[in-house]
Amino acid sequence: MTDRQRDEKLFSGGRIFDGVNAPVDGHALLMRDGRIARVAPASEFAGYAGLREDISGKTLLPGIIDSHVHLFLAGQIPFGFHMMLNEKDDCGGICSMRLMNGRFSRNYIDLDQADRTLAMLENAQANLRGGITSVRDMCGRDFYEMKVRDAIDAGQHLGPSIVCAGKGITITGGHGWWSGLEADGADGMRRAVRENIKAGSDFIKFVVTGGILTMGTDPLRTAFTQEEIEAGIGEARRLGKKAAVHAQGNDGIARAIRAGATSIEHGFELRDETIEEMIKLGVFLVPTLAIPDAFRESGKGFSPAMRDKGLKFAEMHVDSVRRYYTAGGKLAMGTDTGFPYIYHGNNARELFLMCEAGVAPLDALRAGTSSAAELCGFANRGRLAEGYWADMLIVNGDPSADITRVSDRAHHHAVYKNGFDVHSRLGTEPARPWPTPFSR
Ligand SMILES: [Zn+2]
């Protein structure tokens, strides 16, 4: 993309939300060389003779940042998971390339390396079309997502900025073992952290409790020993990496934050004293409310065992997020996109779910822009401020009054990435359609 000219353009006439402060009217934003050159009262640009876009009736805001995606998964109904879930219903061995809606779906479990890498690029671009201009990949497959990250950073492909965990570190047989790195003992933890860093991880993911998608693991049970948690997170922090911790039960969450976790992912079971401690330590909660939503909205696609497991935690999960927010905790929007029924490009729905759980629209928007940028470590992204990259979303109406203006992509008017008009370059439709009729 570096060989193509980015237009200098002045956006004026609409409302501007900078990612932090309350939206303002009467201001204009000048974009130049892929960056935000100036944001100021529109009167300052009275003599501007260059390209202009009138955004009257619209809101200009930073592109949304999703702090929890899996580029190697694509939200398919979990045929492909049966084998690794040890479930009885057999897919006949064709699940990873099953014909759905007249096309072969890619379920990513058994794809070859080349196909997998291409699919991850497609998924990354699907995010971008949906207004998601940066993502944090929370565990990929064999480190191939890092090639996608690097190709986008190098300007070879237009896509969202990506930071990568590499392989999530889990106990032997623990949640996500099928794509993660199994580690046991303090030395094993330190070695797993170093292996990820060697491969190019931007931060380290630890799977401290069980999870829904790995049958036989209990989301509320702490998987690692105290010694392992401290050794792993301690090593990540010693080597300058943030620690993102998959933790669902209260005990695992409490142990992880005391050991230095930067963020808690999911956080199904948050007791009040843990909430208090997280806030004191400045820990981010990444809500992933798309998960209970997927179980409620699309229960039939899951096997009965998995649906029961998912629904069991739905209410507890939403309630924990609500209490964390109400107590004043820091939220960064994250979805677990790639999880069954959570589709790349539909990520912004999470903002609606956050509001449904009681988060004020403006706080949800902050969680999906400036706060997510802070957690993920995207310098110069997530805000509309001078010198920042022009990662922007323009929507019809005012999302601080009606969150669906952002969460429902039908209201999206335009997406910009580093100043490139995304829809004019990539089109608005994903390279392959979402695999089921379940879409919103
Ligand atoms: Zn995840």
Ligand 1 centroid, distance to 40 Cα (angstroms): 39
Please report whether residue 431 resides in a domain: no
389: CA distance to ligand 1 center in Å?
Answer: 27
Position 301 scores a pLDDT of: 65
DSSP count for the chain of H helices, then E strands: 13, 21
Cα 208 from Cα 137, distance rounded (Å): 18
User: Element (H or E) spanning 236, and its range?
Assistant: helix 226-238
Distance of CA 26 to the CA centre of its chain: 32
The first and second tokens of residue 405, run together, are 């203006």
Smallest Cα–Cα separation from 257: which of 231, 228, 287, 283? 283
Residues around ion ligand 1, judged by CB within 5 A, are 138, 336
CA of 354 to the centre of ligand 1 (A): 17
pLDDT per residue of the chain (440 residues) written in tens, 0 to 9: 444 568 899 999 999 999 999 999 999 999 999 999 999 999 999 999 999 999 999 999 999 999 999 998 887 654 444 434 444 333 333 333 333 333 334 455 556 788 889 889 999 999 999 999 999 999 998 999 999 999 999 999 999 999 999 999 999 999 998 889 999 999 999 999 999 999 999 999 999 999 988 878 999 999 999 999 999 999 999 999 999 999 999 999 999 999 999 999 999 999 999 999 999 999 999 999 999 999 888 666 677 777 888 899 999 999 999 999 999 999 999 999 998 888 999 999 999 999 999 999 999 999 999 999 999 999 999 999 999 999 999 999 999 999 999 999 999 999 999 999 999 999 988 665 555 433 32
Going from the Cα of 431 to the center of ligand 1, the distance in angstroms, rounded, reads: 23
202/290 same-domain check: yes
Query: 265 alpha carbon to ligand 1 midpoint, in Å?
Result: 8
How far does the centroid of ligand 1 lie from the alpha carbon of residue 31, in Å?
Answer: 35
Q: Is residue 437 included in any domain, yes or no?
A: no
Domain endpoint, select from 341, 376, 411: 376
Query: 89 CA to middle of ligand 1, Å?
Result: 24
The confidence score (pLDDT) of residue 286 equals: 98
Q: How far is the CA of 203 from the centre of ligand 1 (A)?
A: 14
Residues 238 and 100 reside in one and the same domain:
yes
Place of tokens 């997998």: 116
Q: Compute the residue count for the chain.
A: 440
Distance, CA 8 to ligand 1 centroid (Å)?
Answer: 38
Same domain, 29 and 165: no
Q: Report the distance separating Cα 336 and Cα 137, nearest Å.
A: 9
Check whether residue 329 and residue 398 sit in a common domain: no
Bridge partners of 164?
137
The answer to the question of residue 346 being in a domain is: yes
Residue located via tokens 């909205």? 297
What separation in Å is there between the alpha carbon of 46 and the centre of ligand 1?
A: 48
Residue 160 CA, ligand 1 centroid: distance in Å = 18
Residue 16 lies in a domain: yes
pLDDT of residue 66: 98
CATH number for the domain including 46? 2.30.40.10
**Cβ neighbours for 405, distance < 8 A, ≥ 6 positions apart:** 59, 395, 396, 397, 398, 399, 411
Ligand 1 centre to CA of 294 (Å) is 13
Distance 207 CA to ligand 1 centre (A): 10
* Residue numbers of the domain that contains 49: 9-62+383-426
Answer yes or no: do 162 and 103 share one domain. yes
CATH number of domain containing 172: 3.20.20.140
2 domain-assigned: no
Q: Is the pTM of this model over 0.95?
A: no
**Residue 436 resides in a domain:** no
235 and 110 both lie in a single domain: yes
Task: Let me know whether 34 and 98 are in one domain.
Answer: no
Residues 223 and 240 in one domain: yes
Q: How many domains does the chain have?
A: 2
Question: Looking at the domain assignment, is residue 358 inside a domain?
Answer: yes
